Amino acid sequence: MGAIEYAIDNWDRLLEFALQHIGFVLLSIVIATVIGVTLGVLTYQRPTAAALVIAVSATILTIPSFALFGLGITFFGIGNLGPVIGLILYSQLPIVRNTITGLQEVDPAVVESARGMGMSRWQSLWRIELPLAWPVVLTGVRVATLIVTSIFAIAAYVGASGLGREIDRGLSNLGAAWAFDVVLTATVAIVLVALVLDVLYMLIGKLTIPRGVRS
């Protein structure tokens, strides 16, 4: 098959694109996690605010990425900045929603005993509630990562790096004999990147979820 031959002949090039892809996805996810968890922490005890934040982030996720990245050029020009901001926005729904759910699901008796022993609001949140909500938050982050790994491929048409470049190049030359192989190879590579990231999350979970709350 042509695609396999292409992959073997160009593995160093593909690896470089894959690493760029992973790099920008993880960069966006780290920033998105900080923002999303903060939004969750600020709203989980206020039902109206929580519903509003979830509704807004759900709405964002319905905007077609093709359109969002295109509009981004107006503000951020060509390159990676616009797409990274786009990925951060797309990540919000799973992260914010899981943070809110995770914090709300912490046993109220545990929180009451934490406060009852003299932990401040902040100490209770930081030492007790967030660690207990962490498995749920981490699942949200994992889902967000899967979503943006595929969305980032679209961003190549506004000049972003990553495996999307290859897909873009193939699709622009569809008449050529090699074009189909290039698109197929890059698509498979994105799926592999997603799998690698998923394994990474399994490891993070193993390392960060305390033994007492692991199921």
Partner 1 sequence: MPASEADPPAMIRLEELTKYYPGSDEPAVDAVTMDIPEGEIVVLVGPSGCGKTTTLKMINRIVEPTSGRISLEGEDVTDVDPDRLRRRIGYVIQQVGLFPHRTIAQNIATVPRLLGWDKERITERVDELLELVGMDPATYGPRYPKELSGGQRQRVGVARAMAADPPVMLMDEPFGAIDPITRDRLQNEFLRLQQEIEKTIVFVTHDIDEAIKMGDRIAIFGNDHRIQQYASPEMLLSNPINEFVDAFTGTGASLKRLNLTRVRDVALSDWPTAASDSPREELQRRLAETEHSFLLLLDRQQRPLRWISERDLARSDWTHHGGLKVRAVVEPHVTLHNALDEMLTSNVGVATVVDERGAYQGVVDIDTVMTAVNAMRAETRERVRVAPWHGVTASDVADATESRA
Please list every residue from 53 through 92 that binds partner 1, using CB under 8 A.
Answer: none
Tokens of 205: 């979970």
Residue 123 makes contact with partner 1 by CB under 8 A = yes
Task: Give the separation between CA 41 and CA 47, rounded to whole angstroms.
Answer: 12
Residue 208 makes contact with partner 1 by CB under 8 A = no
Task: Give the separation between CA 198 and CA 200, rounded to whole angstroms.
Answer: 5
Minimum CB separation from partner 1 for residue 100, in Å? 19
Out of 70, 79, 131, 159, point to the residue binding partner 1 (CB under 8 A). Answer: 131
Residue 206 makes contact with partner 1 by CB under 8 A = no
- Which residues 6+ apart lie within 8 Å of 214 measured at CB? 135
Please, which residue, 91 or 99, has the CB nearer to partner 1?
A: 99
Residue 132 makes contact with partner 1 by CB under 8 A = yes
* Nearest C-alpha neighbor of 28 from the set 159, 143, 187, 149: 149
CA atoms within 13 A on the CB side of 7: 15
Minimum CB separation from partner 1 for residue 104, in Å? 16
Applying CB under 8 A, the site for partner 1 has a residue count of 21
Residue 117 makes contact with partner 1 by CB under 8 A = yes
Using an 8 Å Cβ cutoff, are 16 and 162 in contact?
A: no
State the residues that interact with partner 1 by CB under 8 A: 107, 109-120, 123, 128, 131-132, 210-213
